[in-house]
Amino acid sequence: MFRVGVITSSDKGSRGEREDLSGPTLIKLAQDLGWEVVEYVVLPDEQTLLAEKMLQWTDELSLDLILTTGGTGFSMRDVMPEATLSVADRLVPGIPEVMRMESLKVTNKAMLSRAVAVIRKQTLIINMPGSPKAVRECFAAIAPALPHGIQILKGEASECATNVK
């Protein structure tokens, strides 16, 4: 079982002016796979606050996976990728590439996503879109590979290649 945290980046959501639907969607998707969601928070679009929360969840709580939603667009307040990159030890470009590729099948606006995925220590951090529909679509595209990646990160698996004779 993986320990997961979910961060929603939303000024209005953090002030209670808008209900967060994407965070709870991510929580349900993770729980449906048998993962334990141990942390959830809605924060304003403030790079420092977002980065501090990711640092706390990686360095103090040692979560296996942090899923973020929102803050990946072109708005001046959209700073989730910058916050995520500021805590990164290593980049994982394939995950957001797959999300954008799958989302492009639905809308050409998918190319405007600035989402990133990174590793900090033994935690995988993935930026997801800000709408429940897009969250479901993107999560479906990446979820099958996540357990193996997290197991490798934690030192519980070692081989990615399939033996072919």
Taking a C-beta distance cutoff of 8 angstroms, is the pair 127, 81 a contact? yes
The reported pLDDT for the residue numbered 163 is: 53
Strand-strand pairing, 36-43 and 3-9: parallel
Instruction: Tell me what the pLDDT averaged over the chain comes to.
Output: 95
Q: What is the pTM of this model?
A: 0.95
The reported pLDDT for the residue numbered 157 is: 76
Q: How many CA atoms lie within 13 A of 41 on its CB side?
A: 14
The reported pLDDT for the residue numbered 7 is: 98
What secondary structure, in 3-state letters, does 30-89 show?
HHHCCCEEEEEEEECCCHHHHHHHHHHHHHHCCCCEEEEECCCCCCCCCCHHHHHHHCCC
Tokens of 151: 């197991």
The reported pLDDT for the residue numbered 161 is: 58
φ, ψ (nearest 5 deg) of residue 17: -90, -10
Average pLDDT per block of 10 residues along the chain, 165 residues long: 97 97 98 98 98 98 98 97 98 98 96 98 98 97 98 83 55
Run of H or E including 141: helix 132-142
The CATH fold assigned to 3-153 is: Molybdenum Cofactor Biosythetic Enzyme; Chain A (3.40.980)
The reported pLDDT for the residue numbered 113 is: 97
The reported pLDDT for the residue numbered 159 is: 64
